[in-house]
């Protein structure tokens, strides 16, 4: 019996975009199990809470039983070892992404030489999408701005967040 190949796809997913979905579903076609590791993001000020980001990711991935959504904090190394993963999946859109991810992959190899990092590029129609763009367009735009960047459930949450923030404005 061969060992199940578990891959970790870590990120803050604030919010999870169609680009993220594309990467995780392509990884799920390559590996037995993919863990979408939603970071607590101590170093970032997120728009959505960890619980909200987890709920959105679980909703988006609900039709894909080989994808598990799990929160994580601390070093990715410890999370990867806890879940007995042998692959780290990273999405790369641009040369700038690659430069950072290449350095990160090198450090991860130093910390856990038994784990391979796999870089996946999103489909062409998603290469420009970042969570930062999604947040800014959805919160600062009008009408259906941002609707084509995220799933419908995530878009509804963005609209609700925008309404909540607008009600707090002076």
Q: Catalogue the active-site residues.
A: 20, 44, 93, 131
> Residue 80's closest CA among 9, 2, 4, 32?
9
Element spanning 9, H or E = strand 6-11
Max CA distance (Å), the chain: 63
Give the number of other Cβ atoms within 10 Å of residue 140's Cβ: 10
Structure tokens at 42: 């101590």
Partnered with residue 116 across adjacent β-strands are 87
CA 33 and chain centroid, separation:
16
């Amino acid at each position: 019996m061969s060992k199940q190949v578990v891959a970790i796809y870590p990120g803050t997913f604030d919010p999870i975009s169609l680009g993220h979905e594309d990467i995780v579903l392509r990884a799920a076609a390559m590996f037995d199990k993919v863990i979408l590791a939603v970071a607590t993001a101590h170093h970032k000020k997120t728009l959505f809470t960890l619980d909200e980001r987890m709920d959105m990711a679980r909703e988006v991935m609900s039709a894909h039983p080989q994808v598990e959504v799990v929160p994580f904090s601390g070093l990715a190394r410890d999370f990867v070892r806890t879940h007995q993963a042998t692959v780290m999946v990273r999405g790369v859109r641009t040369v700038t992404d690659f430069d950072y991810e290449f350095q990160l992959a090198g450090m991860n190899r130093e910390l856990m030489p038994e784990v391979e990092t796999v870089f996946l590029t999103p489909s062409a129609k998603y290469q420009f999408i970042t969570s930062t763009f999604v947040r800014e367009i959805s919160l600062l735009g009008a009408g259906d701005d941002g609707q084509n960047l995220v799933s419908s459930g995530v878009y509804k949450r963005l609209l609700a967040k925008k309404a909540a923030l607008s009600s707090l404005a002076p």
